């Protein structure tokens, strides 16, 4: 009998490739990181849409899509827009983010979160992520605000920069919900509006309720790589009727309703989702439960396949949540972070469209001067994370 070595001492990149193969089989060609599935009424609704001639910014599919989203999530209102970035931009505007403000955001996110802050003329302020959720760390948020924030009549101010902290934007990374209760409590304590970047997490739940269902502002995305796609698209979720009305107004050029007159009462945006895209979205939403089931089966297969692989962990959904497992992820132990690129190379050579995490936002030239707390956990995640093929069409192999 050999002497057992510490679990992490025996890490081997080939074992990672073999584990993925055990979970999903040997691909015939390349297994993409995430591709859409069109197996429902897509063509029928598109056909109906084209025949109606209402292919553009008004039409019954837009209304139906918004109703379906509100019903599915339990949010009072859903407002369909042209993409997730536009949804975030609108949320920040309505939350009162103004030029010269700061918005607290994770450094580990897709560029859209940070760009939408910049579109408001505001500066992102980066907070660390949690290893448990891969999203904003509630404790790091609390510690950072205690260190730098001050309540003043005009709002909560960053004492170091003198700027108002106008919003906090947690993001549910790869579909895994953040610690919403803790983050909400901190936001309430400091009276800072919360905008949820739920672009990746349609279908995820937190303590039994859909992510975004309790939000004053949440943003969804229906880009081609998301769990449900409209080609390109997004939506704003809100539980505030008045904010919902405002969101619809400013995303539809702020036009006052009238039989023929073109009167606009403020500078609005043309962020309308075309009816064609909404038609696709309706057909996709009808299949969401099936997508979720398949993606959970796939996540379970990865989880089993990596259970006994030394030096690597599969990222499970946080306790008390149900993830949509939009993207599956593994984390190499810190000791093997230097082998991440070799693992990516081997996985791709074997036909698995594996990808690293996003480059952290504070490393990008546009945001390198932005204020930030300690980001050591985000930096560690960035070094070690690998996303694995996660499409709803992938048939997981049962053990």
Binding site for ligand PLP (CB under 6 A): 83-85, 109-110, 112-113, 171, 197, 199-200, 221, 223, 234
In the complex, minimum distance from the CB of residue 313 to ligand PLP, in angstroms, rounded to a whole number: 22
In the complex, minimum distance from the CB of residue 111 to ligand PLP, in angstroms, rounded to a whole number: 8
Q: Using CB atoms, what's the residue nearest to ligand PLP?
A: 84
Q: Pick the closer one to ligand PLP by CB: 73 or 221.
A: 221
In the complex, minimum distance from the CB of residue 201 to ligand PLP, in angstroms, rounded to a whole number: 9
In the complex, minimum distance from the CB of residue 262 to ligand PLP, in angstroms, rounded to a whole number: 28
Picking from 213, 227, 133, 215, the residue whose alpha carbon sits closest to that of residue 176 is 133
Alpha-carbon span 85 to 197, nearest angstrom: 10
In the complex, minimum distance from the CB of residue 280 to ligand PLP, in angstroms, rounded to a whole number: 14
Q: Pick the closer one to ligand PLP by CB: 135 or 193.
A: 135
Q: Pick the closer one to ligand PLP by CB: 109 or 156.
A: 109
Q: Pick the closer one to ligand PLP by CB: 204 or 221.
A: 221
Alpha-carbon span 175 to 323, nearest angstrom: 5
Q: Pick the closer one to ligand PLP by CB: 179 or 200.
A: 200
Q: Pick the closer one to ligand PLP by CB: 23 or 199.
A: 199
In the complex, minimum distance from the CB of residue 87 to ligand PLP, in angstroms, rounded to a whole number: 7
Tokens (6 digits) for 340:
């991440």
In the complex, minimum distance from the CB of residue 172 to ligand PLP, in angstroms, rounded to a whole number: 8
Contact 179, 208 (CB under 8 A): no
Alpha-carbon span 73 to 320, nearest angstrom: 17
In the complex, minimum distance from the CB of residue 338 to ligand PLP, in angstroms, rounded to a whole number: 27
Q: Pick the closer one to ligand PLP by CB: 385 or 396.
A: 385
Q: Pick the closer one to ligand PLP by CB: 200 or 317.
A: 200
């Amino acid at each position: 009998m050999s002497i057992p070595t510490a679990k992490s001492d025996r890490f081997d990149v080939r074992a990672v490739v073999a584990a993925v193969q055990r979970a999903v089989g040997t691909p015939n060609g390349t297994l993409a990181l995430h591709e859409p599935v069109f197996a429902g009424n897509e063509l029928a609704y598109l056909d109906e849409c084209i025949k109606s001639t209402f292919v553009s910014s008004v039409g019954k599919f837009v209304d139906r899509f918004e109703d379906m989203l509100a019903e599915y999530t339990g949010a009072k209102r859903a407002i369909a827009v042209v993409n997730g970035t536009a949804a975030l931009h609108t949320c920040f505007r309505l939350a009162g983010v103004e030029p010269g403000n700061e918005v607290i955001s994770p450094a580990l996110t897709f560029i859209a979160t940070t760009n939408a802050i910049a579109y408001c003329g505001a500066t992102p302020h980066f907070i660390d992520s949690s290893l448990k959720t891969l999203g904003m760390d509630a404790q790091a948020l609390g510690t950072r605000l205690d260190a730098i924030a001050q309540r003043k009549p005009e709002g909560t101010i960053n004492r170091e920069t003198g700027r108002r902290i106008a919003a906090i934007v947690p993001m549910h990374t790869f579909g895994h919900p953040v610690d919403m209760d803790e983050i909400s409590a901190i936001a309430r304590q400091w009276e800072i509006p919360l905008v949820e970047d739920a672009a990746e997490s349609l279908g995820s739940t937190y303590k039994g309720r859909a992510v975004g269902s309790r939000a004053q502002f949440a943003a969804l995305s229906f880009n081609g790589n998301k769990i449900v796609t409209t080609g390109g698209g997004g939506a704003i979720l809100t539980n505030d009727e008045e904010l919902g009305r405002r969101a619809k107004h400013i995303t539809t050029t702020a036009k006052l309703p009238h039989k023929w007159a073109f009167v606009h009462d403020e500078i609005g945006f043309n962020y309308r989702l075309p009816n064609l895209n909404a038609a696709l979205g309706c057909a996709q939403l009808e299949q969401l439960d099936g997508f979720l089931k398949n993606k959970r089966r796939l996540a379970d297969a990865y989880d089993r396949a990596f259970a006994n692989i030394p030096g690597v962990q599969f990222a499970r959904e946080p306790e008390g949540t149900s993830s949509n497992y939009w993207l599956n992820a593994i984390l190499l132990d810190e000791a093997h972070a230097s082998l991440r690129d070799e693992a990516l190379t081997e996985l791709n050579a074997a036909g698995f469209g594996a990808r690293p995490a996003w480059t952290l936002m504070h490393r990008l030239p546009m945001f390198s001067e932005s204020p930030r707390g300690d980001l050591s956990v985000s930096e560690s995640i960035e070094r070690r994370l690998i996303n694995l093929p996660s499409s709803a069409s992938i048939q997981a192999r049962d053990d």
